[in-house]
Chains A and B, each alone.
Chain A
Amino acid sequence: MATSIEQRGYAHPEALVSTDWVEQHLNDPKVRIVESNEDTLLYSSGHIPGAVHVDWTSDLNDQLRRDYITREGFEALMSKIGATKDTTVVFYGDKNNWWACYAFWVFQLFGHTNARIMDGGRVKWQKENRAVSRDVPSYPKTEYKAADRNDAPHRAFREDVFAHLKKQGQLVDVRSPEEYAGTRMHMPDYPNEGALRGGHIPGAKSVPWAKAINPDDGTFKSADDLKKLYCDDNKLAPAKETIAYCRIGERSSHTWFALKYLLGFENIRNYDGSWTEWGNMVGVPIEK
């Protein structure tokens, strides 16, 4: 049984809310609950009552280029889900909150800092036999004025990674050990989605994302356990500039969240180009 969020020693405990908290705020007009999954059927099969669905491919990604939605797209999305700047957006989803953290991260590119992750995600809510609904809620549209997308604080591009490499900056590779070692080109049980080379970015530490969670209920481990994992065992320093990556940036959003909000890493960015970009680029350094 996990201890309460407040007791776990996190740097920014306010970024996480419990399933109890969500249940107590189901009818709170200042709270919008957002489900983001990998499996597109899950939301329709039953979600937290009142929760809206934000799909990582159709809602958050540009439909033509490999990039995220524009300011106008974000404003339209927030209007559609009935959120204002004052709305507390709480994300949860499958895969121990991979896609919830990914959506949370994209929201930060537009400065919607009034955002939370529901600890344990969908699986914890289900295991606790809490209410689910198939009713798709509808909220009055809002006028949401967003700032232009500001990638710099949270997102690393390949040029940033090159510069980071030159400085021998901290990199954390959150993929499976087999992907890191280059013996496997994709996640176990996942299709090969196209990297021509296997291995990792030189100097990257291998800390698979799932080590940050308690496997029984999907909740995040305590700050002490996370410190041991990232800082003691893998010598990552919270004060140093850090870049996390995986395959397309979804698993590393999860680690980005854990390092930034739970351990207080001051300057951490997510390299969403990740291995599907690095493993395909001509002439870049790779280690196995």
Chain B
Amino acid sequence: MPEKLDKVIEMFQMFDPADRTDVLLSYADQFKEVPASIATRPFPKSHQVPQCESDAYVWAQKLPDSTMKLYFAVENPSGISAKALAAILDKTLSGLPASEIATVNCDIVEKIFRQNISMGKGMGLMAMVNAVQALARAASQNN
């Protein structure tokens, strides 16, 4: 597990439900949509996260120093959780080598969201993590 992400998860473990909600909303507020230099609407289906009802998209750009930068789009205006997760993944994984990002596991979703995970949401959020992992794996194999 990448260290920065590990620390964020450790922080989430200490929160009571109200604090967790506030921090998740704070992350959602920091969400930045994919810039036009990377992708514009209509976003290609090949970047759409399957099973995500928030209509999320993910891109991974390989930088000259071999690290990666993640980008996301969340088309559903109610996709607050998807935005929060996207911001967490971007802040903790962008800037790392692909091989390190590829170690992320979708079980982080339960650890981060806890009781804030709803029936339909968990599958989509785990699919977002899996999509990031798949892009990182593909990039690391192309090294």
- Residues of A that sit less than 8 Å from B by CB: 37-42, 44-45, 94, 122-123, 126-127, 134, 187, 189-191, 193
Cβ of B5 under 8 Å from chain A:
no
Minimum CB–CB distance for A97 against chain B, Å: 13
Cβ of B61 under 8 Å from chain A:
no
The answer to whether B116 touches A191 (Cβ under 8 A) is no
The answer to whether A122 touches B119 (Cβ under 8 A) is no
For B51, B115, B120, B124, which residue has the most chain A Cβ atoms within 10 angstroms? B120
Contacts A41-B21, A189-B120 known; list 14 others, CB within 8 Å: A37-B118, A38-B120, A39-B121, A40-B115, A41-B28, A41-B84, A42-B78, A42-B80, A44-B21, A94-B78, A126-B78, A189-B51, A190-B123, A191-B122
The answer to whether A41 touches B119 (Cβ under 8 A) is no
Minimum CB–CB distance for A234 against chain B, Å: 26
Q: Which of B85-143 contact A (CB under 8 A)?
A: 115-116, 118-124
Cβ of B60 under 8 Å from chain A:
no
What DSSP secondary structure best describes chain B's contact surface? helix
The answer to whether A41 touches B123 (Cβ under 8 A) is no
For B52, B77, B118, B124, which residue has the most chain A Cβ atoms within 10 angstroms? B118
> How many angstroms between the C-alpha atoms of A194 and B84 in the bound complex?
29
Minimum CB–CB distance for B125 against chain A, Å: 11
- The 23 listed contacts between A and B (C-beta, < 8 Å) are A38-B121, A39-B80, A39-B118, A40-B21, A41-B24, A41-B81, A42-B78, A42-B80, A45-B28, A94-B78, A122-B78, A126-B77, A127-B77, A134-B25, A189-B53, A189-B120, A189-B123, A190-B119, A190-B120, A191-B119, A191-B122, A191-B123, A193-B119
What DSSP secondary structure best describes chain A's contact surface? loop
Minimum CB–CB distance for A241 against chain B, Å: 30
> How many angstroms between the C-alpha atoms of A39 and B81 in the bound complex?
8
For A44, A127, A193, which residue has the most chain B Cβ atoms within 10 angstroms? A44
The closest CB in chain B to the CB of A37 belongs to: B118
- Residues of B that sit less than 8 Å from A by CB: 21-22, 24-25, 28, 51-53, 77-78, 80-81, 84, 115-116, 118-124
For B84, B115, B119, B124, which residue has the most chain A Cβ atoms within 10 angstroms? B119
Minimum CB–CB distance for B18 against chain A, Å: 9
For A37, A39, A127, A134, which residue has the most chain B Cβ atoms within 10 angstroms? A39
The answer to whether B25 touches A44 (Cβ under 8 A) is yes
The closest CB in chain A to the CB of B18 belongs to: A44
Chain A residues near B24: list those with CB within 8 A: 41
The closest CB in chain B to the CB of A94 belongs to: B78
Chain B residues near A122: list those with CB within 8 A: 78
The answer to whether B123 touches A123 (Cβ under 8 A) is no
> How many angstroms between the C-alpha atoms of A193 and B123 in the bound complex?
12
The closest CB in chain A to the CB of B50 belongs to: A189
Minimum CB–CB distance for B81 against chain A, Å: 6
Minimum CB–CB distance for A59 against chain B, Å: 14
The answer to whether B78 touches A39 (Cβ under 8 A) is yes
Chain A residues near B78: list those with CB within 8 A: 39, 42, 94, 122-123, 126
Chain B residues near A94: list those with CB within 8 A: 78
Chain B residues near A45: list those with CB within 8 A: 25, 28, 80
